[in-house]
Amino acid sequence: MPVHKSTVLVLRCHDWSESSQVVHVLSRDLGRLRCLAKGSRRPKNPFSGPLDRWMLGEAVVSVGDPERLATLMELYETQRFEGLHRSLPAYYGASTVTELVLALVPEVDPQPAVFDLAADALGHLAAVEPDACRATAFAFALRLLALLGYGGPTDRCVECGQAVSQDHPVNYSVGLGGPVCEACRPRDKGKVHRLSVKTVQAMAFLAAADWDQVRRVRLKPSTARQVREVLSATALELAGKELFAARYV
């Protein structure tokens, strides 16, 4: 099987046997992979310490049949996001990042921009104040949807292109991926959410602002609830999976 070297982000680990683990990683060059890490639970192993989620490293991976597990042969840890384990808001934010990547990013599909976004988001979640974790996690989610082609405009109808009102609540179609005017409001494309002006503005800002600006955002509970509902409904629509961690963000 071909052997590759790549920077990887460890997303999730499961015990496979007394000595090995199944490790879900996001590789910058290979995409999302499910790997068998043989001997990773032994005191002496080919990895630079115990494998755990939310660690970054340089890996050697053997990838063959995409229907079967790849083999994680080596991993040299370069960064461990310790801050994600020190506060519940950071933990739930990182768990939301993980759930979204595992649900929406295809396997064995290299997307360096997605890798960079996930690594940046985890780094910021590990460093920001607890009150900033909600906006940071939502910003990641909105940017991920845009990178994967699911994020639509927030200032015009995604069907006809007509500008939507900036002064009144907006109909947001999860099935169509953005705001819709009354004439284009779908009847069979999933749930339509009625979003406040503040929510639409917050989503547009979080999707585009730099991370230093995002970390200063404090969302009102009503705004956060609407953003959370849209993101959860979108994940369910696209992948058939519920976001469990997001309900605590």
- Return the CATH fold of 3-80: OB fold (Dihydrolipoamide Acetyltransferase, E2P) (2.40.50)
Task: Kindly report the pTM of this predicted structure.
Answer: 0.92
* Average pLDDT estimate for 187-202: 83
pLDDT value at residue 91: 97
- Interval 215-235: pLDDT, tens: 999 999 999 999 999 999 999
- Return the CATH fold of 83-248: de novo design (two linked rop proteins) (1.20.1440)
To the nearest whole percent, how much of the chain has pLDDT over 90?
69
Rounded Cα gap, residues 230 and 141, in angstroms: 11
**Bridge pairing between strands 70-80 and 55-62:** antiparallel
- Interval 60-99: pLDDT, tens: 999 977 778 999 999 999 999 999 999 999 999 999 999 9
Phi and psi based region of residue 220 (left: phi greater than 0; alpha: psi -120 to 50; beta: remaining): beta
Domain boundaries, the chain: 3-80, 83-248
- What would you report as the CA-atom Rg of the chain, rounded to the nearest whole angstrom? 19
Rounded Cα gap, residues 168 and 86, in angstroms: 40
Residue 43 has pLDDT above 90, yes or no: no
Residue 182's Cβ-count burial label (10 Å; 0-12, 13-18, 19+) is exposed
Length of the chain: 249
pLDDT value at residue 182: 83
Q: Helix, strand, or coil here: 172?
A: strand
